[in-house]
Amino acid sequence: MNKHFQLDGEIIPRFSLYNRWLMFMWQELDKNQNLPSKIKLPAYT
């Protein structure tokens, strides 16, 4: 699995950085309760 992700060194780091930012933003919105209860990200798993 790790080897697969390491194949493309250009795209994957950018994606995981973006993904981390996205999850951070959604967590912040959750904390501030600015999200309508209908709008939720799918489970992270």
Whether pLDDT at 33 is above 60: yes
Whether pLDDT at 6 is above 50: yes
With contact defined as beta carbons under 8 Å apart, do 12 and 5 qualify?
Answer: yes
CA–CA gap between residue 33 and residue 3 (Å, rounded) = 39
Whether pLDDT at 22 is above 70: yes
Whether pLDDT at 27 is above 70: yes
What percentage of residues in the chain have a pLDDT greater than 70? 36
Give the pLDDT band (50/70/90) at residue 45.
very low
Give the pLDDT band (50/70/90) at residue 11.
low
